Amino acid sequence: MASESGDDQQLKLYSYWRSSCSFRVRIALNLKGLKYEYKAVNLLKGEQFSPEFTKLNPIGYVPVLVDGDIVVADSFAILIYLEDKYPQHPLLPQDLQKKAINYQAANIVSSSIQPLQNLAILKYIEEKVSPEEKLEWAKVHIGKGFAALEELLNNYAGRYATGDEVFLADLFLAPQLYAAIGRFHVDMVLLILFLCQLHCSKCAFVLDCAHLYLSDL
């Protein structure tokens, strides 16, 4: 595992560049203006199964955040931890209904889309079924998830997913949008056109989410 940055930074993030789960956390750290040491974990080389890493997260998944003596694994847990400890640029709105919508949108991505396209699942399908089927598998579940998100956010989206500020839902949507288009070649044109027909500002939401993701590459 490689690292980048100085020794005076308390926060350490174990991450993989293409991991959408890791990207959620990196976006949050940037939004909150928090400095951190980047600890690269190469999933393709199996570094997530090394004794050093599994000591931090026994299941062998990125991301993992180390804050002094505190170790937090799983992107959702990390984001809530950051929100509780570092309140600048809140990731959740004060409005209870919008807060619930943010949790629901984040859960659709983290429970119903991303786990079905992760490296271990795709490798299993490739080995047990066929290399071609793994891409179709990912496309089906990504499409199903985005159809649900479209319906859920229809009455809440402004410039961003749930209004005119970046909140938790955006942190999950931006990396998933990029992965859907760039990695799995899902045709998102119809979704974007639909959003534009509903409200022009929703086009800005899609584009700005993509920018948040790409700017961290």
- Candidates 10, 13, 31; CA nearest to 171 is 31
Q: Where are the alpha helices (DSSP H) in 108-130?
A: 119-128
- Candidates 112, 113, 104, 118; CA nearest to 177 is 113
The sheet carrying 64-67 orders its strands as 2-4, 37-40, 11-15, 64-67, 70-73
Residue found under tokens 């998944």: 61
Total-model pTM: 0.81
Sign of CA dihedral 135, 217, 164, 205: negative
Whether residue 54 has pLDDT greater than 90: yes
Q: Are 19 and 43 in contact (CB under 8 A)?
A: yes
Q: Tell me what pLDDT residue 187 has.
A: 77
- Candidates 49, 44, 34; CA nearest to 89 is 34
Whether residue 4 has pLDDT greater than 70: no
The backbone region for 109, taken as left when phi is positive above 0, alpha when psi lies in -120 to 50, beta otherwise, is alpha
Q: Which of 4-8, 75-79, 165-169 has the lowest mean pLDDT?
A: 4-8
Q: Which of 15-19, 106-110, 154-158, 170-174 has the lowest mean pLDDT?
A: 154-158
Going by their DSSP bridges, the two strands 70-73 and 64-67 should be labelled as: antiparallel
The backbone region for 131, taken as left when phi is positive above 0, alpha when psi lies in -120 to 50, beta otherwise, is alpha
Q: Tell me what pLDDT residue 39 has.
A: 97
Q: How far apart are CA 36 and CA 32, in angstroms?
A: 11
DSSP result, 170-190: HHHHHHHHHIIIIIS----HH
Packing angle between helix 131-153 and helix 189-198, nearest 10 degrees?
10
Whether residue 82 has pLDDT greater than 50: yes
Q: How far apart are CA 23 and CA 65, in angstroms?
A: 13
Provide the pLDDT confidence category of residue 204 given band limits of 50, 70 and 90.
low
Q: Tell me what pLDDT residue 57 has.
A: 97
CB burial of residue 8 (10 Å; 0-12, 13-18, 19+):
exposed
